[in-house]
């Protein structure tokens, strides 16, 4: 059998490789889609936030290319981002009314976003309700509706839309639905309808069995009914489940304890919080120093001795309590774990990032920093 010399064999491999590369490049070039230069210029303007120039180029392209739908969508989104919502509404309305069936839902959703940007929530709501009947945009439309109702504080409508979401999503967002029901329960309490409030709180627990907010509201109802013992147990249950609520719960617990002639309650609170395992000794001591009334601060050294947190005298405890309270009133007693917002008052839902159950006492982080400083020294 004839054999090629090694040198010729190597050269043949090189030639075959070069031929394959050349043919691949040629075929790839044939498949390349060449976009008009204006596309790239417009994109450059967008990337560099030169919206006026980008809008002008895209508008000219849309006119030259026979009102191409995709260019119109890009132009409408650009106008919305620039704050020229009326122009965006005009574009997306025309696409919804005159476009083919495949574009109408897309245009309707873009139009709903336009209305939201313009603050026309009633119009956005109507469009989204129509889209909720579509297959492709149903989930997205429902999410947008929930956002609108949450922003408006219309918890009944938000809850109704929640029940239209897929079962898996409902399971995932059960805690949010429980908060909707608690919001409705608080409204019922303001109106004096305690029975309706109880019913709503029972429904809330079906979504989230361990729900400190429901315990706190039920405790208030028990207090109004004269059941101090029941209220105390509910407050303590909420505190053990969520120590981050201590600044809101401890004053209520101590008030009920005084009615029941329980002078040992502060020690009991320290014991329960310590057993929860969520807090360091310094965090717990500083939390109590921030939460307890001035007349009961003198008890802190005894509790602190059990914790090993270093508070030795009543004067030291009083000074620490005053200092922590002053810092909290000046810079915020609470901080959102999601967005970092500082707040003097408590919110179940962060006013900035809209996350539920994200507020924590700022004293937790202050104590952590103190612990780190002690370990580093």
Whether pLDDT at 119 is above 70: yes
- Summarised one tens digit per residue, pLDDT across range 19-48 is 554 555 555 444 444 445 665 566 565 556
Confidence of residue 57 (pLDDT cuts 50, 70, 90): low
Q: Is the dihedral of CA 92, 93, 96, 97 positive or negative?
A: negative
The predicted structure's pLDDT at residue 231:
95
Residue 239 C-alpha from the chain's centroid: 23
DSSP one-letter code for 359: E
The predicted structure's pLDDT at residue 2:
41
Tokens standing for residue 108: 């309707």
The predicted structure's pLDDT at residue 158:
96
Residues 6+ apart with CB under 8 A from 307: 270, 274, 281, 284, 285
Beta bridge partners of 97: none
Helix, strand or coil, per DSSP, at residue 365:
helix
Confidence of residue 147 (pLDDT cuts 50, 70, 90): very high
The predicted structure's pLDDT at residue 33:
43
Confidence of residue 121 (pLDDT cuts 50, 70, 90): very high
How many other β-carbons are positioned within 10 Å of the β-carbon of residue 105? Answer: 19
Residue 60 C-alpha from the chain's centroid: 40
CB 145 within 8 A of CB 160: no
Residue 54 C-alpha from the chain's centroid: 33
Residues 6+ apart with CB under 8 A from 82: 51, 55
The predicted structure's pLDDT at residue 371:
67
CB 279 within 8 A of CB 291: no
**Residue 26, phi-psi category: left (phi > 0), alpha (psi -120 to 50), beta (remainder):** alpha
Residues 6+ apart with CB under 8 A from 46: 54, 78
CB 213 within 8 A of CB 232: no
Where is mean pLDDT largest: 1-15, 166-180, 309-323, 327-341? 166-180
Residues 6+ apart with CB under 8 A from 71: 58, 61, 62, 65
Q: What is the pLDDT averaged over residues 132-152?
A: 93
Q: What is the pLDDT averaged over residues 121-143?
A: 93
Confidence of residue 229 (pLDDT cuts 50, 70, 90): very high
Which pTM does this prediction carry? 0.75
Q: What is the pLDDT averaged over residues 62-80?
A: 70
Cα first-last separation, the chain: 84
Q: What is the rounded (10 degree) CA torsion for 136, 138, 139, 141? A: 120
Q: What is the pLDDT averaged over residues 39-65?
A: 59
Residue 87 C-alpha from the chain's centroid: 31
Pairwise CA distance, residues 77 & 113, whole Å: 9
CB 298 within 8 A of CB 318: yes
The C-alpha angle with vertex 222 and arms to 217 and 226, in degrees rounded to 5, equals 145
Beta bridge partners of 360: 335
CB 49 within 8 A of CB 59: no
- Mean pLDDT, all residues of the chain: 80
Whether pLDDT at 18 is above 50: no
The region of weakest confidence among 129-133, 217-221, 369-373 is 369-373
The predicted structure's pLDDT at residue 117:
92
Helix, strand or coil, per DSSP, at residue 334:
strand
- Residue 40: C-alpha distances to residues 33, 45, 80, 148, 366 (Å): 13, 9, 21, 36, 51
In this prediction, what percent of the chain has a pLDDT beyond 90? Answer: 40
The predicted structure's pLDDT at residue 5:
52
Whether pLDDT at 230 is above 90: yes
- Summarised one tens digit per residue, pLDDT across range 305-361 is 665 555 656 666 677 677 777 666 667 889 999 999 998 889 999 999 999 999 988
């Amino acid at each position: 059998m004839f054999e090629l010399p090694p040198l010729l064999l190597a050269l043949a491999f090189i030639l075959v490789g070069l031929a394959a590369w050349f043919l691949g490049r040629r075929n790839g070039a044939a498949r390349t889609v060449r976009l008009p230069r204006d596309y790239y210029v417009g994109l450059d303007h967008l990337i560099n936030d030169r919206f006026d120039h980008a809008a002008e180029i895209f508008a000219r392209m849309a006119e030259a290319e026979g009102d191409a739908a995709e260019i119109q969508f890009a132009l409408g989104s650009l106008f919305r981002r620039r704050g020229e919502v009326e122009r965006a509404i005009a574009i997306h309305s025309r696409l919804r009314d005159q476009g083919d069936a495949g574009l109408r839902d897309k245009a309707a959703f873009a139009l709903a976003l336009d209305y939201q940007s313009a603050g026309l929530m009633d119009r956005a709501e109507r469009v989204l309700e129509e889209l909720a009947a579509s297959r492709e945009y149903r989930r997205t439309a429902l999410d947008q509706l929930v956002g609108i109702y949450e922003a408006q504080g219309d918890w009944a409508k938000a809850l109704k839309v929640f029940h239209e979401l897929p079962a898996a999503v409902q399971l995932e967002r059960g805690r949010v639905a429980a908060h909707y029901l608690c919001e409705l329960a608080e409204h019922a309490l303001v109106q004096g309808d305690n029975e309706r409030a109880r019913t709503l709180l029972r429904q809330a627990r079906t979504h989230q069995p361990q729900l400190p907010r429901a315990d706190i509201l039920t405790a208030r109802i028990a207090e109004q009914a004269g059941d101090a013992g029941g209220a105390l147990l509910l407050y303590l249950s909420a505190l053990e489940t969520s120590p981050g609520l201590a600044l809101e719960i401890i004053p209520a617990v101590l008030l009920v304890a005084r009615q029941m002639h329980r002078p040992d309650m502060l020690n009991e609170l320290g014991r329960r919080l310590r057993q929860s395992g969520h807090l360091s000794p310094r965090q717990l001591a500083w939390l109590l120093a921030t939460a307890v009334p001035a007349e009961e601060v003198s008890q802190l050294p005894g509790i602190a001795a059990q914790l090993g947190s270093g508070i030795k005298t009543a004067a030291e405890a009083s000074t620490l309590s005053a200092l922590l309270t002053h810092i909290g009133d000046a810079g915020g007693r609470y901080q959102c774990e999601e967005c970092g917002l500082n707040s003097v008052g408590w919110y179940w839902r962060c006013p900035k990032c809209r996350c539920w159950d994200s507020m924590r006492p700022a004293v937790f982080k202050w104590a952590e920093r103190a612990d780190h400083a002690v370990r580093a020294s």
